[in-house]
Structure 1
Amino acid sequence: MNLIRRPRRNRQSAVIRDMVQETRLSVTDFILPLFVMEGQNVRSEVASMPGIYRLSLDLLLEEIQECVDLGIKTFDLFPNLPESKKDKYATESHNPDGLYLQAVRAVKERFPDVMVMTDVAMDPYSSDGHDGVVEDGKILNDPTLEVLGKMALAQAQAGANILGPSDMMDGRVGYIRQVLDEAGYYDVAIMSYAAKYASAFYGPFRDALDSAPKFGDKETYQMNPANSREALIEAQLDYDEGADFLMVKPALAYLDVIKLLNDNFHLPIAAYNVSGEYAMVKSAARNGWLDGERAMMEVLLSIKRAGANVILTYFAKEAARLL
Structure 2
Amino acid sequence: MSKRVLCKFFAHGACLKGEHCEFSHDWKDPPNNICTFYQKGICSYGSRCRYDHVKPSRPESTASSSLTVPCQPLGSNAMSLALPARNVSNGVTTVLGAPSELSNRPFIAPATPALNLESAQHDFLEDGEVIEPRNVKPADRSICSFAAAGSCPRGDKCPHIHGDLCAYCGKQCLHPFRPEERDEHLKACEKKQKNLDLLKYSQEIECSVCLDRVLSKSTAAERKFGLLSECDHPFCISCIRNWRSSSPTTGMDVNTSLRACPICRKLSYFVIPSVIWYSSKEEKQEIVDTYKAKLRSIDCRHFDFGNGNCPFGTSCFYKV
TM-score interval for Structure 1 and Structure 2 normalised by the shorter chain:
under 0.3
More strand, by proportion: 1
Name which one, 1 or 2, has greater alpha-carbon Rg.
2
Structure possessing the higher relative contact order (Cα contacts under 8 Å, 6 or more residues apart): 1
